[in-house]
């Protein structure tokens, strides 16, 4: 799907799909599990669609959503790395570092266009609307993160909205798309959405903890990339509630590494990391509850996939990479 005719564009677009640089493939894994978890009998299942080019097999159509989702995810990583001037990604050189900003941006655009073509081939306008909204949310989330207005940067509500846009929208709307393609009711589609939303929020909250702690529990062991870029995440927001003096430190900016150390000191004294983990756990539990609310099934594969989706909610909050 990502093959291109022009050699430079071909190697750029394929870069993060090659073995060793393919990442965790967390989103497609969730989506294929969701497809099986929802594989329950629907009496009035609508026909898959119309037209010769339409894949008739439901599983194949749901797999297309998993592929589209990973392509959009990788496109957003490529653009993100250009914006952040990143050197590495997935343990290898970032594409902007290896092939330059121009090709990295174009490769992201190319992946988006391939994702759109695949989406169009599904001929489902509701799903097109959901995925188009995801792309808008990703751009909005990234833009929200650029804000310099203190009332927004220091607001937990703003942070959660940004987190939904940047991370949870993609997985929640694609989970919902998998349900809609199967012809499920709005109620079941909403449970699939709720699972993805809460899993995505938990995932990002833990990402924000790991930025401070890395694989160990001690502060300063992570890449500290967010704080060094002036991005204020949940651990610091919670620490600021306990220590309002921290606000003045954050206001000074983090160009001076000594300021990062002072912020880390406050964070260490506070319950910031703990409260962020608790919030992640709350969302992980809400995600698991959405799966538990699905209509009962005796099918062994359905039961296994639902259990795997529930297990993933725990893996997300206990992960260290």
Residues lying near ligand GRG in the complex (CB under 6 A): 23-24, 26, 72, 75-77, 79-80, 83, 90, 108, 112, 135, 138-139, 142, 166-167, 204, 207
Least Å distance, CB 138 to ligand GRG, is 4
Residues 5 and 148: beta-carbon distance below 8 Å: no
Q: Which is nearer to ligand GRG, 10 or 135 (CB)?
A: 135
Q: Which is nearer to ligand GRG, 70 or 194 (CB)?
A: 70
Q: Least distance in Å: CB of 182 to ligand GRG?
A: 25
Question: Closer to ligand GRG at the Cβ: 79 or 153?
Answer: 79
Beta carbon of residue 200, minimum distance to ligand GRG (angstroms, whole number) = 8
Nearer to ligand GRG, 26 or 243 (CB): 26
Q: DSSP secondary structure string, 127-182? A: HHHHHHHHHHHHHHHHHHHT---HHHHT-HHHHHHHHIIIIIHHHHHHHHHHHHHT
Cβ 194 to ligand GRG, closest distance in Å? 19
The dihedral sign for the CA sequence 167, 170, 173, 176: negative
Alpha-carbon span 285 to 268, nearest angstrom: 26
Number of H helices, E strands in the chain: 16, 2
CA distance readout (Å), 20 to 70, 92, 100, 104? 16, 9, 21, 19
Q: Least distance from C-beta 107 to ligand GRG, angstroms?
A: 10
* H or E stretch covering 197: helix 186-213
CA angle 220, 311, 205 (to 5 degrees): 30
CB of 49 to ligand GRG, least distance (A): 26
Rank residues 64 and 184 by Cβ distance to ligand GRG and give the closer one. Answer: 64
Of 142 and 265, nearer to ligand GRG (C-beta) is: 142
């Amino acid at each position: 799907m990502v093959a291109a005719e022009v050699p430079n564009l071909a190697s750029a677009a394929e870069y993060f799909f090659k073995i060793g640089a393919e990442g965790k493939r967390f989103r497609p894994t969730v989506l294929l599990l969701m497809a099986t978890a929802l594989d329950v009998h629907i009496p009035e299942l609508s026909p898959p669609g119309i037209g010769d080019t339409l894949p008739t097999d439901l599983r194949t159509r749901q797999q297309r959503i998993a592929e589209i989702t990973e392509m959009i995810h990788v496109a957003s990583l490529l653009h993100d790395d250009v914006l952040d001037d990143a050197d590495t990604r997935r343990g290898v050189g970032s594409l902007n570092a290896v092939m330059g900003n121009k090709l990295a941006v174009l490769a992201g655009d190319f992946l988006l266009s391939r994702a759109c073509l695949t989406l169009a081939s599904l001929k489902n306008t509701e799903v097109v609307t959901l995925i188009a909204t995801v792309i808008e949310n990703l751009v909005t989330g990234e833009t929200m993160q650029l804000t310099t207005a203190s009332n927004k940067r220091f607001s937990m509500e703003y942070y959660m909205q940004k987190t939904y846009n940047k991370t949870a929208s993609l997985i929640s709307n694609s989970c919902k798309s998998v349900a809609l393609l199967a012809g499920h009711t709005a109620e079941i589609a909403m449970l699939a959405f709720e699972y993805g939303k809460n899993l995505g929020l938990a995932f990002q909250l833990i990402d924000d903890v790991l930025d401070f702690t890395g694989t160990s529990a001690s502060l300063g062991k992570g890449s500290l990339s967010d704080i060094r870029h002036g991005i204020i995440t949940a651990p610091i927001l919670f620490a600021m509630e306990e220590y309002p003096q921290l606000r003045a430190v954050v206001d000074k900016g983090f160009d001076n590494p000594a300021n990062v150390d002072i912020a880390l000191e406050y964070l260490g004294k506070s319950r910031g990391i703990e409260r962020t983990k608790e919030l992640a756990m709350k969302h992980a539990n809400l995600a698991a509850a959405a799966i538990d609310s699905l209509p009962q099934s005796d099918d062994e594969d359905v039961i296994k996939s639902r259990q795997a989706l529930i297990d993933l909610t725990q893996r997300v909050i206990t992960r260290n990479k």
